[in-house]
Structure 1
Amino acid sequence: MKITPETKKVYELFPIQGKRCYAIPTYQRNYSWKNEQIEQLFTDVLEEGRGYYIGNLLVTDSSDKDAFDVIDGQQRLTTISLFYLAMAHELKEYKRQPSIKDDEDLCDEIAGKIQDIKRQLRLPGCQEPRISLLPHDQKIYRDLMESVLSTKKDQVKRWGNRILSRRYEFICSLFEEVLTTPRELLDYSDKLNELEVLQIEVPDIGDAFNVFSSLNSKGLPLTLIDLLKGEFISVGSNGAGSAEKVLAQWEKLTELFAAQDADADNRLVTQFLLNNYDAFEGTGSAITKGRALSEYRKVIKEHYHNHEDYLDILLLRAKAFAQLTGNAANEMDDHTLEVKIAALQKLESTQALPLLLFLFVNKKELGIVDYLVNIADMLISFYVRRNITLTPKSSNIRSFMLSTLREIREQNLRGQDVVKVVCDALVAHSASDEIFAASLDEGIYDKNKKTTRYVLIDIERRKGHSPLFNKQHPDSLDDFKVKKNGKNHPRWSIEHILPEGSLPSYWCSMIAPGEEQDAGEIQSEHVHRLGNLTLTPYNSELGQKPFYCEDDPEQKSKRDYKAPDNGEYVGLRSGLFLNRSIADEAAGEALENKETWTVEDIDRRNEILKRYVLELYKVPEVNSAE
């Protein structure tokens, strides 16, 4: 059997010139990567150094030296092509902005990059994609490419719940949220081009399956976790006892990140190891997976040289990390603090994990046991403001969090001095009240859905005391339900009063009377604003229903919709505090009599809810931390 292994850069797999192309054989499965796998690859490209190795690409050759069948690696290859496509889309959007047009050099660079991506994704001399997916995916893939790479403004067809389409939308959201300037996009493109794969080329399908079976005979490839486990056994068993003892300690650590009757989640264990290094061992920038093994080798040897059982130390820290990430089997001693940490998890505050881990593990030595709730409150306000204003950039948050952590460590701070340093750092990097208020006048749902949901629930609980809920009907705002696909979904979801999607004629007439042709533009400007949002456990049933319907209102209108099983109001008259402001009570309106929902209503309600948000999530005050 002839096997030809060769290291390739991604730009060689997607060359600007040349006819290199790939086909996914019919026996392969369709595109199936989930958001977690996509985000991990996206983050690896962002955080790791240039030339980062991302895995193998197993292909068979053919009579055409430039054409390959992909046996293993099609998910990664397809995802990379979607990354290129999303970058082209974002760069086209920037190119249209007046501020960019004034910078001729940048404009030329953007135009050049878009042309490069077009040539990387298409075969020369035709419009055919360089990758041929299975028919189920290829129609969507062609449509996406035509939409983004044509000279017209992107007009992507709706493909419903088809996986490839939904994953592409998720990829676009990553690029839009994390890479917020043209320069960041251009730099990311350069790093993507420099990624490395090991291409393994074999003559035919029989040989390919032999190689594939051999590569996967022991399950997944060796990971950072596997390698560190071996390092602990090698070093730790000499200084701390037998290999069996070390292995038992290691299993206790990894079991902290395992669901019931399941293996440890390697992603969570890796996340812990990286955050542990940044919190306790690092002195510079954040550790990457590429550097982690070599750096941990030094740490492990140093601890065991000093007769310290480093696995015991790691186990204590891992228990704290499991609590901070919501993976612990046991509850925290302080219920209020547990609620605050759960809030930070919902606000996607992973950049703060090294700082929180350091503070939690050392809370007694630092003298901050009584201040942890205060610190958590400050972080909650910071993240709500950050996720709505997108200030500071996501890529800068971890850096200043690590700087704050190191200031506490190096200056040996204690008690209120620790709180003040954290507070000062958050104040220095928080958006101002003016910027926050201005952002609350714009759409917020399309910026960060999870934060929007958190804010709506928080308003309901803290401003309205949830009048809907009582002893007979306990608060269920954080409850989950299991759908048919086996995944947990929030019982309560966000409802757009003026709905998303193509508007029926009755909505067009309501928001643009006499000018129905402008309804779509009005909708796009106002649909995601705070004033147009509420919560409901019946989102799919309300959908495009009119605000009020005289004909069968209990089933056909959002205002009066009732649950078929018990006849209770579950539409806008559900009893939520949030829904009281739908009617203009100051003008004598009552929700049960209100028949219209207009832009003026959205503006009025937005002002009411904005005041609540500004009050609940103030910039941390230095004086209050003392």
Structure 2
Amino acid sequence: MSVESALLELRLVGDIAGSFRVARYQRGYRWGQLEVERLLNDIWENKDAPYCLQPVVVKRDGETAWELVDGQQRLTTLFLIFVFMEREGLQKAGPPYSIAYDTRPGSEYYLKELDADRADSGIDYFHLHRAYECIRAWFDTHGVRRQYVANKFYGYLFENVRVIWYEAPKGMDSTTLFTRLNVGRIPLTDAELFKALLLSRSRGDAGTTDKSHEIAAQWDSIERDLQHPDVWAFVADEAAAESPTRINLLLDTIAGGPRGRARPRFHTFDVLQKMIEQSRPEDVWNRVVELHARVLGWYEDRDHYHKIGYLVAVGEHFSELVALAVDETKSGFGAVLDARIRASLDLTPSSVAALTYETETHRDKCARVLLLMNVETVRRVNDSSERYSFRIHLSGAWSLEHIHAQNAELLTKAEQWKDWLRLHREALLDLPSIDEDYRENLIRRIDNAGDQTDRRVFQDLARDVTATFTLANGSTSANLHSLHSVSNLALLASGHNSALNNAVFEVKRRRILELDRKGSYIPICTRQVFLKYYTDADAQQIHFWGTQDREAYLNAILSSAGGVGAYLKPEVPLA
């Protein structure tokens, strides 16, 4: 939504004046007891502190007349509160504004009368009268202090309670805007509100420079930079990732405050508005420009890009990293990032070797270790412009894949058994190292099972086929490399069928190569695992994943040159 010619300000409820027209595209008043009491309680409990209601969106209809595009429910409820206090003799003055309806002229008159006898003669009358009675009941709960509460409440409306007054551009179609804000449930964002306020305050009075056009151009340029998927992906934490307005990330960071559900609506706008009031619009805007420059600087620096991208991917917040960078040199900030990565792992070499897929907390650690290994492998390539793709990482779901599955017990359906046997039959045909008669016997047993495979037949076949693709463990360190250890895990996109998930190394190797040929994204270390990159050439048996392979893979994980070794804690000496 364009806001170049929009006007925005915070306006005290007591200063709202003129006549408001509710156009025909809007339904009538529909607030119930919950909404009315919430508004009353919020204003009362906030007491003397400044309090900001949600936006009231208007378009000018004349000198003192407005088309009320959004905010009918709030303005009508406030109108009823004014009417109640005047009719009950609690205050002398009534509402400072009026509300009319294009298609329901009777509602305008009923709003002034609020006749109980006519409350059931129309749906609008019913809701207006019920809200009025909710207001009465709320004031009555204060008993003998009702007059005192009314005096205080009335004062709050003129001294503390404001609405975000948003005057939409004259050329904007009202129906489209209303549909977006209400039917489409796409509210005005902090960024849109701040932009409108910033530009309106930057236009300058007579004799001063109008900076609004320059700021608007800079705003569009910053948003365009942040819309670049690779730039956005390495700094966008989970809360920001789905934001349609990317500059919100910078504004939220400058505003600070709670995150997630604990963050009040329009918190960012409220804080930045106060900053503008206390300084100058260009001072606040310069902070946004500087933060944007910092993001681009981090993106251009391969070390910072990869380390920050990893930290954000595992849950660090962009705002926290910005705070860590304050007053740090480039090398100093790099050291800070290294420390944060080390803390995110919180592992020694021996504890990495002991990680197991079977424990939930260990699974998270395994995922972090393998993600960091992939990131570091790319980062440490000298004289390369290649980057780890946090964009792809952010856009998909990733799972820990067993490199070699030694059992198929998790498969429980006939269709899964059929798929598993088909995949392994194809691999058996190309396995050169087994006895020919034994191979033919296994293939004949698979073919004889056909579509009539039952659990017992499948489990017997799966046991024998898996054993054929499993090397005997001759190493004394074999128990370090169990089925579920990190040395038998790799990162892979989720979504593969369960038969493949429980397949042996050779079947998975074939699938990885097929995906790679088709251009699917395979994390670099996962590709290298299935290409036997980490295993010494003289120890390679291309169709199997044995103890020697796992030892070489674990050593690569623990290495400081491409692995995670540089970010591990030292071993604690035995007492």
> Is the TM value for this pair above 0.5?
no
TM-score range, shorter chain: 0.3 to 0.5
- TM-score, with normalisation over the residues of structure 2? 0.41
Bigger radius of gyration: 2
